[in-house]
Structures are given as structure tokens and as C-alpha cells.
Structure 1
Amino acid sequence: MNTAAAFADFRTYPLISALTAAHTLADRIQVQWADGRVSPFHHQWLRDNCPCPQCVYTVTREQVLEIVDVAENLIPDSARIDADGCLCVDWQDGHRSRFDPGWLRAHAYDDESRAERRATKPKSKLWGTQLKLPVFDYQALMDDNDALLQWLLAVRDIGLTQVRGVPTEPGSLKLIAQRISFIRESNFGVLFNVQSKADADSNAYTAFNLPLHSDLPTRELQPGLQFLHCLVNDADGGESIFVDGFAIAEALRREDPEAFQALCEIPVEFRNKDRHSDYRCLAPIIALDAFGQVSEIRMANFLRGPFDASVEQMPRLYRAYRRFIAMTREGRFRLMQRLNPGELWCFDNRRTLHARNAFDPATGARHFQGCYVDRDELLSRILVLQR
């Protein structure tokens, strides 16, 4: 059974266990569930999350109540479980709140409930050279939302996918990228052409080899997803190389925790400059989320400024940086594959580092198109499709 939480949001919540009792204590209401769990809810938390039309605008499902407008010492007159199994609270100021049991269980913050929620959060699937590459069909992704969802989940959890059967007309990339959301424009444009050219404003637009890197580490927010679509690939060389930056970071954490800590703590400046722009960002190479898990890798040696660390920190930073770069070259992490016309890569640019072998433009044409979509758009699209 799924239950809706009045006007709390657009989702429904499974009724995992029914409410059986509610007890009012000095600063909280303690509820009991049919499966034996006990969840305390502080008075302020309950009042702050009241889903009634006075507190949440029914059209946008966004809160209009600000907790500062409610007395800090507000307490309930009574709390009970009604005939529909909802928790009903009558407050001393005359306000009445009614909480759906599915919603309440989904947001309970007792230790057991919080641990349960954390255990169900998506987890990155780390990979190395033995990765079984997730491959998807272009037309299925364009026509079938179930196929689209499976692709997006693979992008989210694995961070590297390939799509085949993509039309090779210039601009075709835009259609599949927009199946996720709008494209993020940069100083390279909405779609950018990866071709060797004499007046290149990036090493990507040469025939050089490109070492493993993330795109635009010079920005406060690196692009989340990167697409690279092959239109023509007749030149010798130019194979794509990928490593899972999260897998390398976790291996570094295990094998050399001091180096891992240095790359999490000491910021490095990345710079992207041409005749018309100058982007700079100072940030650590490895970023952690609120739970201490690796959430981002920021790396492009060819866009790095001189290290600016204290005299004491400089040797520590160089040792850690050299170790990380050396690990990206280890065979256990590397996946290499040539991209053919009508195929595209879609990968998490803030996780999966990519590289390209040098190619010989004298042996044939090579034309890729690329674009970016932010990681937030990927996650939003997944939630809407799942809803």
C-alpha cells in the first residue's frame, strides 16, 4: 500500500508499518509502530513539517510556514492515531496537524530509521579494467522511458556508459542529451566540436594525446555529465581511455591514507585561459560528501596552476599528487576502447577521468561532438521517472 502525505510533496510513500500508539512527552511525541520500532518526534519538528494547506502551498507543494513564527515552547494539547492510521496533533495555539504514516516513517529520525535510509541510498559501483561496459540502444532510449531509466541509473551508479546506433548528422547529440534535461552551455558552446585545428583554444582540439582528466576543473561546479559523440573516426590512433576516479581514490585511501588525506585537504588551483576568457578555481582534488564518501574528483594536469601550499605542506602535496597520477596509469584501473561512428560515451565527468591517445590527422578525418548536462539534472530525471 502506498500513502500520500497530504501536500508534503509529489511522491507517495509505502506503508511499511502501521502506527499503533502515540505518547506525549515533555518535548516530543513518541510513536510506536506495529513492527515494534519506536520513533520520537520533537514538537518543533512536527510543527515545522505540518503538511496542511495553511503551512504548505497546495499548488507548488512548497512550505510557507517559517518555524520562527511559531512559539518556541509550543506543545500539543493532544496526540492520537485516527481511524485512517494518521498521527493527529492538536496544538495549544489551536492549530491541527495530521501526518500520514508512510510519510512519517520515511522521515523518522530515530537511529534505526536513519541507518535504514542511509543503507538504501544509491551507492557507486566501483570498477577497473574488467568493467563490463553498459551499452544501450539509441532508439530505445529515445522511445522508451523504462530503457531511459535503466541508462540513467547506470550513469549514476557506474559513471560510464556507451550508446550505439546514434545518427551521425552533426547536432544529433542534442536530442539524446535533452532526454535527460537541458544542456549546460560553456565558453566552448552548447555543443562543442572535438577536431584538430590550427588555432586551438584547448589541447582537446589538437592531435596530441590527452592525459586522464575531468573537464572544466577550472569551474566552481564542474559539469556533471559529459557526452562525446563520434561522427567520423578514420584517423589512426585516438583511442578513448577511462578510469574510475572514485575507485582510485578509495584504493588510495586504503593503500596510502596520508596521501588520500592530503588530496582531500590541500587545495589546488586549476586555470583555463584563452584569448577571451580566464577561468580559475581553487579546490582539493578529492571532495568528500557529508558522510565522508568520495563525491568528486577534480583533475587536469594541463590546466593546473603552480601549487600554492605552505612550506611544510608542499612536499606532502607533491608526494600525494604524484601517487594519484601514477595510479591512473596502472593497468588495473584503465579501460581503453576506440569509439566508432554512431557511438557515444556518456559518463560522470566529476567521477570518471577520461583520456585520448594521440592520433594522426594525416591518416583520416576525426570529428566528435560533445556537450555537458549537470549531475543535478540526471538525479532529478531519475526521481521523476521513478515517481
Structure 2
Amino acid sequence: MNAVDPSLEAAPIADWRSYPISADLAGLSASSDSLDITWSDARVSPFHHQWLRDNCACSQCVYSVTREQLLEVVDVAAELSPQRTRIDEQGHLLIDWQDGHRSRFHPGWLRAHAYDEASRAERRAQRAQPRLWGAELAEQLPQFDYQTLLEDDSALLQWLLAVRDLGLTQVVAVPTTSGALQQLARRISFIRESNFGVLFDVQSKADADSNAYTAFNLPLHTDLPTRELQPGLQFLHCLVNDALGGESIFVDGFAIAAALHQEAPELFHVLCTTPVEFRNKSRTSDYRCLAPIIALDAQGLVSEVRMANFLRGPFDAPAERMPALYRAYRRFIAITREPRFRVQRRLQAGQLWCFDNRRTLHARSEFDPTSGARHFQGCYVDRDELLSRIHVLQR
């Protein structure tokens, strides 16, 4: 076996993940601006020269400590092309560039990032998909043990995957002491602080700065729709719940959006394209955000629902669109009231909800504060932190 050129000894992968080899490099074919790779399963993937040079992972192009890129592609010639290409004995792609630079690509990494249509479709199919639910989830609600989640990373991963895919989970056997929630939330990442604090106490009080701190019926909503970025995860931990009433109600906002899209696509479009202002006002703060009720991601899929009628400002839309906006808004709320979509359950002391606040709408029925104590604690963790923790646990 020939010795590896010292200039190519750096890790050929520029991030922290591993890339299994699902197909070997079988052949190379050059064109004027790209290199076509034929794989051992007969798939053909074109890689443009600029793309290959831009993604070189050698120590000159990527800092090995942080695995972040040093190269800016504008610093190499736009018409740069390979002088020589070959497959080495380890199955890597080697490229000698016209300017003297040398690149080495791992076949697993190349396949994972190939952008021929078959490879892109393969990646789309492998992406996690939300599992839509309705009232049936009340009998299938995933439950996880608090202490196990603190001690076992594999159990932690299963819980986080359930939060990601379902958007609603319950944790049981939680100590009924103030702050126990904080220990669990930090198993994911740091807690997002808001004007309500790091941990907020949900109790009825006379000087309430939110309807959540009253005994009123609280209709279905997402928390903090008044922020540019709504909190991703919300935790609600029950310390005591002796009052009459106060049941928790949940609906899957993604399932509501899907139902609206199927039933009245024109109304779905209105809620995706018409910004609505939400406002959260108190004596010491004034938060406002203008955004659509249903947000779509880069692939056109529903990524967020933003709703809290008690925090909504007056609609501001062109006069000719106002009737359609009201039809869409009314229909969305009406669907959330259909029993087929609603999960209703009373949270007991020592239990907590963890749900995706940008997907799952939650509500609370009215309760009688004179009939017994009711004390929940809550906090927020951003969705990005959930996904990051999942990725690290998986790798």
C-alpha cells in the first residue's frame, strides 16, 4: 500500500458526524464544469467543480479544531477545474486542482451530500415527519419517568424524539418541589428566559399580568406569539392541583392546519399569507409581533402555528381581503373545538407536560380558586436546542 500524501492526512469530513458508505465510487467522468460520479449501485451524481472546491475539508480549508470552514470560495478562480482526478485505494475521491491545491473526499460524505435528484429525494424521505394526532392520543400519550430521563441518555433520546415527532408528551414521578422542572429542562439545554422569568409560577393572583395567572377559562393558544420567535418547547409541572376544574386541553396545530388545507385550501392560504399582530402589554413591557397564523418552511410544509386570541390586535388587512381573513380565522378556531381533535386530561401533582409550543395549542378550563390550591411551574426551551440535543445523542 502506498503511503498517504501528508497534505491529505487531515480528516476528510468537515463535521462531527460519521457517514456510512452505502455505495462505493465506481467511476469518474469529466465535463467542462463538473465531475460525474458513477456509484456501485449505478446512480450517477454530478458534482460541479466549484462545489467540490468549496467543500474541500483539508486543513487549509477547514480548521480541524472547530471543523468550521476557513476557505471563502470567492478566493479561488471561478473557472478552476481539476488537473487530475482518481479514486484511491481506500475508495476516496482525490482531486489535484490546476492551482496546485489537493482535495480528498470520503465516499460516504459525498453520497450524503450528492445533489442529483435521486439523492435529494432520498434525503427528503429520511427527514423526520410530524405525526399528526387527534383525540385518540389521549389513550396513546407517551409517558416517561423523571429520574430515568435524568440518568439514562437512551431514554432521554426516546423522549426528545417523541417531543419532536408528536409535539406532546407527559413526564411522571416528578418531585413536587419547586425547581425540579429546571433540572429536567437542562438535560436538553439552557432555559429560555422571558419577562415572566426563567421559571414562571402559574397561580391565580390578584395583580395578574397575564390571563394565565387568573382562574378564567384560557382558550387554545400558543405561548408568546407576541415574540419574533415563539418559544419552541413549553414545560408545565404540577406541584399541587386540588382546585375544582382546571383541566388541560391540547390540539395538534399541524393537524388543524392540515384539516383546513383539505377542507378549504383558499382559507388555509389566507392564514399563511396574511400577517396578524399579537400584543402582550403590561405596566412594564409591551411586546408585539406581526406574523401569519400558519407559517410554512422552505419546503412549503407547515412549520409553526401562532395563535392566542386574547393577545391578538385588530386585524389590519386590505379592505377587500378582510371578509376572507375573518372566514379563515373563524374556521380555524371552529376546527380546534371539534371533539375529534381535542385531548383533555387533568394533570396530577408530580406530573408535567412537555410540548412543542410552536405546534401544539394548549388551553385550561376554568377552575375555582376557593376550592383548593393549584400551582404549576413552567419554563421554555427553544426548538433549536431540542434538535441539537437529538443530533448529539444520535451521533
TM-score, normalization by structure 1: 0.99
The yes-or-no answer on 1:107 pairing with 2:113 is: yes
Aligned partner of 2:163: which letter?
V
Tell me which residue corresponds to 2:21. 15
Map 1:218-237 onto structure 2 (within 5 A): 218-237=226-245
- In structure 2, the gaps of 5 or more residues are 1-9
Q: Distance in 2 between matches of 1:270 and 1:79?
A: 57
SS in 1 for 2:134: coil
The yes-or-no answer on 1:334 pairing with 2:342 is: yes
Tell me, yes or no, if the aligned pair for 2:202 and 2:376 is still in contact at 8 Å: yes
SS in 1 for 2:320: coil
Tell me, yes or no, if the aligned pair for 1:235 and 1:365 is still in contact at 8 Å: yes
| Structure 1 residue 6, shift from structure 2 partner | 2.1
Map 1:1-387 onto structure 2 (within 5 A): 6-131=12-137, 132-387=140-395
Deviation digits for residues 225-260 of structure 1 (CA, Å, limit 9, x no counterpart): 000000000000000000000000001000010110
| Structure 1 residue 5, shift from structure 2 partner | 5.8
Q: Distance in 1 between matches of 2:11 and 2:223?
A: 41
Q: Distance in 1 between matches of 2:263 and 2:76?
A: 52
Instruction: Name segments (4+ residues, structure 1) moved above 3 Å.
Output: none
SS in 2 for 1:14: coil
Q: Distance in 1 between matches of 2:259 and 2:51?
A: 40
Aligned partner of 1:119: which letter?
A
Q: Distance in 2 between matches of 1:89 and 1:7?
A: 15
| Structure 1 residue 21, shift from structure 2 partner | 1.0
Tell me, yes or no, if the aligned pair for 1:7 and 1:58 is still in contact at 8 Å: no
Deviation digits for residues 166-200 of structure 1 (CA, Å, limit 9, x no counterpart): 00001111000000000000000000000000000
Q: Distance in 2 between matches of 1:270 and 1:134?
A: 32
SS in 2 for 1:162: strand
Aligned partner of 2:135: which letter?
T
Measured on the aligned residues, the alpha-carbon RMSD in Å equals: 0.8
Q: Distance in 2 between matches of 1:256 and 1:211?
A: 23
SS in 1 for 2:339: coil
Deviation digits for residues 339-368 of structure 1 (CA, Å, limit 9, x no counterpart): 000000000000000000000001000000
| Structure 1 residue 119, shift from structure 2 partner | 0.2
Q: Distance in 2 between matches of 1:255 and 1:24?
A: 51
Aligned partner of 2:143: which letter?
V
Tell me, yes or no, if the aligned pair for 1:213 and 1:300 is still in contact at 8 Å: yes
| Aligned positions, number | 384
Q: Distance in 1 between matches of 2:26 and 2:88?
A: 10
TM-score, normalization by structure 2: 0.97
- In structure 1, the gaps of 5 or more residues are none
